[in-house]
């Protein structure tokens, strides 16, 4: 009886470790604005729903190998969450770049997703990305991917490899490319405004170019941001698709 109960608890821990890691590192689910009690309750519910489905395929864990297997399951959930979180970090980076160019880099607000001070435009960009995330039902994609991950990467067979670390590093490096791509229209416009104001300042030294430049850059930059928002859903959807593709490759390398 005791051995059977120990086996059941071990298998529940394996399922719960993968789900709990996803709840910690995934965007939206891992948001600091969501109470830890709600996250814990959601983790328990998902574990209860998935355990009967995947329990026949779960190996028996005991002894020193138990923690290794549970750690491997936590690793799977972590990489699934981090791959999508990189999209939000790239969007935040775009907001920081645009805010620096516009001159709003010192205006900070508490980011509800991370509960830390974030520049104004970076916070705004992340809120737009979150709305697109929910509108595209990416949270449903993630939950379906979690359920299928138990078939794609069976519990107990997870191993961390150098290629996994390399792929995660490449995905992290992609945040810079993503941030520059999103902020590119604002970057180009503000650079052209700086160039034009520099020429005007040379032609008319009496004109207070610095004071005029701040207002002009702010108005034009926000007009460009509003005008480019219509392209965001398609662009962000592409990034989320790439992130899910990265997750699939990571799971393939973890088997």
| CA gap 80, 148 in Å, rounded | 12
Given a contact cutoff of 8 angstroms between Cβ atoms, the answer to whether 174 and 90 are in contact is: yes
Is the pLDDT higher at 110 or at 183? 183
In this structure, what is the dihedral angle of CA atoms 45, 252, 82, 129, given to the nearest 10 degrees?
-90
Q: What is the pLDDT of residues 74-106, one digit of tens each?
A: 888 888 888 889 999 999 899 888 888 887 777
Asked if 229 and 94 count as a contact pair (C-beta separation under 8 A), the reply is no
| Per-residue pLDDT tens over the stretch 24-46 | 888 888 888 888 898 889 999 99
Q: What is the pTM of this model?
A: 0.85
In the structure encoding, which two tokens stand for residue 230, read together?
Answer: 């219509």
What's the total number of domains in the chain? 1
Burial of 139: CB neighbours in 10 Å, binned 0-12, 13-18, 19+: middle
Q: For residue 64, what pLDDT is reported?
A: 60
On the question of pLDDT at 47 being above 50, the answer is yes
pLDDT band at 1 (very low <50, low <70, confident <90, very high): very low
Say what the pLDDT of residue 202 is: 77
- Give the structural domain span for 158: 2-254
108 vs 125 pLDDT, higher one: 125
Q: Compute the average pLDDT of residues 168-174.
A: 86
pLDDT tens track for 110-169: 777 777 778 888 888 998 999 999 888 888 888 888 888 888 777 777 777 788 888 888
Convert the pLDDT of each residue in 204-225 to its tens digit: 777 777 777 777 888 888 899 8
**What count of other Cβ atoms lies within 10 Å of the Cβ of residue 234?**
9
């Amino acid at each position: 009886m005791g051995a059977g109960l120990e086996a059941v608890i071990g298998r529940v821990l394996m399922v719960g470790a993968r789900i709990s890691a996803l709840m910690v590192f995934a965007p939206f689910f891992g948001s600091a604005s969501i109470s830890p009690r709600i996250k814990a309750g959601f983790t328990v519910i998902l574990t209860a729903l998935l355990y009967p489905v995947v329990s026949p395929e779960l190996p028996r864990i005991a002894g020193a190998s138990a923690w290794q297997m549970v750690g491997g399951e936590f690793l799977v959930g972590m990489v699934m969450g981090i791959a999508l979180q990189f999209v939000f970090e790239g969007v935040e980076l775009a907001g920081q770049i645009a805010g620096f160019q516009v001159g709003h880099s010192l205006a900070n607000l508490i980011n509800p997703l991370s509960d830390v001070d974030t520049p104004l435009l970076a916070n705004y960009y992340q809120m737009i990305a979150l709305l697109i995330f929910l509108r595209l039902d990416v949270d449903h994609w993630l939950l379906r991917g979690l359920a299928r991950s138990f078939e794609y990467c069976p519990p107990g067979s997870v191993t961390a490899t150098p290629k996994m670390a390399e792929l995660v590093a490449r995905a992290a490096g992609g945040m810079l490319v993503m941030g520059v791509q999103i902020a590119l229209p604002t970057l180009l416009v503000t650079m052209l405004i700086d160039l034009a104001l520099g020429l005007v300042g040379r032609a008319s030294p009496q004109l207070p170019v610095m004071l005029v430049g701040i207002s002009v850059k702010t108005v034009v930059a926000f007009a460009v941001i509003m005008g480019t928002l219509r392209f965001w859903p398609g662009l962000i959807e592409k990034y989320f698709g790439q992130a899910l593709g990265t997750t699939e490759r990571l799971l393939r390398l973890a088997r």
